[in-house]
Amino acid sequence: MKFVHMADMHFDSPFTSLSRIEGLSDTRRLEQRKVFKNIIEYINENNIDYLFISGDLYENEYVRYSTIEYINNLFKTIPNTKIFIAPGNHDPFLINSYYAKYEWNDNVYIFKNKLEMINLENINIYGYGFSRYYSDGIDLNIPLDNEKINILITHGDLNASKKGDELYDPVDNKDLLKFDYVALGHIHKPKYDDKIVYPGSPISFGFDELGKHGIITGEINNKKIKTEFIPLDNREFIKLNFDISEINSQEELIEKINELKINKNNFYELIFIGKRNFEINLYNINKLIENNNILKIKDFSKIKYDLEKIKNENNLKGFFVKNILDKINTLETEEEKEKYLKAIEIGLEALN
């Protein structure tokens, strides 16, 4: 049997991480549709028997009827492929959800919030879906027919704590090992061994999802599994360190950023490092850079002054630095400390 395993498509996501550039969220949604269409075309061209969708196919709060129509019309083009969907925390099987009220194509089966088994010729397919935005998990203490291939499809949080109010179907690795293949969703970066698999999201949604994105294709013969990750997203989110130690003004910094040679197909988070020679104003910098592939800037640069030396000076600068450093030593978070270091920098520039 041949299968495709995908998850976390998140159709009609607002793509808030792309909001700095006008219209980029709309462009990304079009790219999202294209990737999904490519998946369906791959299934059709390669005579794939099964499509496993492990949750978060769409965003329940944002999804439009036209998007559901688009998805289902593509499902109609692969009538010989059995499609199994296990709803996740972003697309739970609610009473008023499209999973419940929409008439899906005949080859689509949607799991609900009780562990179900679909008995096929030589395969038993188990599935569990969310019925609300959280899930306490499922009881997998069930006997399996070891004469058949046993597959589990669910949107789950592998080896997560089972304590708390906001759980996302926590599942233990030890409970999954008895299955021949476990099609998981929820984690957006690919993570897999031979049979317990997160395919990741087919496209990346931000800088916490670096690297390639795509789907898993697999084949099971006589309980032997062969899987392959196929990258589909033509863009990557990349974090890029940018040393500003030799830059002496904001104007020079803007020029250097605009001159960067980067891949125009990717999105970048620029991270300032080194010793800064001037005050960094990220708001102004974001307004003035021309490169639309730079979506985010973070400042991890350090103040250039030797503060330990200055605080021992018997003058106004020494008194000023010593008082703020004493305050910094009482703070708990790095964010708070950085604000006070910025205050030292501004104050010293004024005193100079």
CB 133 within 8 A of CB 167: no
pLDDT at residue 279, as a whole number: 81
Residue 277 to residues 244, 294, 301, 302: CA-CA distances in angstroms? Answer: 8, 23, 10, 9
Which pLDDT value is given to residue 97? 96
Residue 308: the pLDDT is 86
Write out the chain's pLDDT in tens, 352 residues: 999 999 999 999 988 878 777 888 899 999 999 999 999 999 999 999 999 999 999 999 999 999 999 999 999 999 999 999 999 999 999 999 999 999 999 999 999 989 999 999 889 999 999 999 998 888 898 999 999 999 999 999 988 888 877 788 889 889 999 999 999 999 999 998 779 999 999 999 999 999 999 999 999 988 888 999 999 999 999 999 999 999 999 999 999 999 999 998 999 999 999 988 888 889 999 889 988 899 999 998 887 778 888 889 988 988 998 999 999 999 888 888 888 887 887 887 777 6
Whole-number pLDDT of residue 23: 83
Tell the burial category of 182 from Cβ atoms under 10 Å away from its Cβ (0-12, 13-18, 19+).
Answer: buried
Phi-psi label, residue 178: left if phi above 0, alpha if psi -120 to 50, beta otherwise: alpha
> Regarding the domain delimited by 2-231, which CATH topology (the fold level of the hierarchy) does it fall under?
Purple Acid Phosphatase; chain A, domain 2 (3.60.21)
pLDDT of residue 246: 93
261-283 b/e (C-beta count within 10 Å ≥ 16 → b):
eeeeeebbbbbbebebebebeee
Give dist(CA 317, CA 69) in Å, integer.
Answer: 67
pLDDT in tens, 210-267: 999 999 999 998 888 899 999 999 999 999 999 999 999 999 999 999 999 999 899 9
* CB 249, CB 279: distance < 8 Å: no
In the chain, domain spans: 2-231, 237-351
pLDDT digits (tens, 9 = 90+) for 320-344: 989 999 999 998 888 888 888 878 8
- Please tell me the distance from the alpha carbon of residue 209 to that of residue 35, in angstroms, as a whole number: 17
d(CA 271, CA 243): 8
At residue 325, the 3 state secondary structure works out as helix
pLDDT for 311 equals: 87
Beta-carbon contacts of residue 255 (< 8 Å; ≥ 6 apart) = none
